[in-house]
């Protein structure tokens, strides 16, 4: 694996682990699991998933469509600049939660 891809994968993994480590505290503060996972998507997809430039809008899409897309990225069936690596870091429960979160935006 080229060094830049290794660094990118490490940054994504550390970010996900750090976010998930505080999940129970965030949920106790009134945020849903979907909102917590979605907070990691804001950099590319924008606050509340409105999309930005060439990055697709997620807000208002069908939850099943979002979930299936994320599963395709996680399995390697679909690839993107980073989504095929990012999606692998989430469980089905987390993917369902973030899909439901964005569908309600």
Which residues form the domain of 39?
3-103
* Residue 7 pLDDT class (50, 70, 90 cuts): low
**Which pLDDT tens digit goes with each residue over 23-50?**
555 555 568 999 999 999 999 999 889 9
The residues, ordered by sequence, that sit 6+ positions from 48 with a Cβ below 8 Å of its Cβ are 38, 59, 105
Q: So what's the pLDDT on residue 80?
A: 75
Rg (CA), the chain: 13
| pTM flag (> 0.85) | no
Q: How many domains does the chain have?
A: 1
Q: Are 78 and 56 in contact (CB under 8 A)?
A: no
Place of tokens 């699991």: 33
* Residue 16 pLDDT class (50, 70, 90 cuts): low
Query: Which CATH number do you get for residue 99?
Result: 1.10.760.10
Convert 50-74 to b/e letters by CB count within 10 Å (16 or more is b): eeeeebeebbebebeebbebbbbbb
């Amino acid at each position: 694996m080229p060094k830049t891809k290794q660094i990118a994968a490490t940054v994504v993994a550390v970010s996900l682990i750090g976010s998930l480590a505080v999940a129970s505290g965030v949920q106790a503060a009134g945020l849903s699991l979907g909102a917590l996972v979605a907070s990691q998507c804001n950099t590319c997809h924008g606050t509340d998933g409105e999309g930005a430039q060439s990055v697709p809008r997620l807000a208002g899409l069908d939850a099943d469509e979002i979930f299936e897309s994320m599963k395709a990225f996680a399995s390697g069936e679909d690839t993107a600049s980073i989504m095929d690596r990012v999606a692998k870091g989430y469980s089905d429960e987390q993917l369902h939660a973030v899909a439901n979160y964005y569908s309600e935006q």
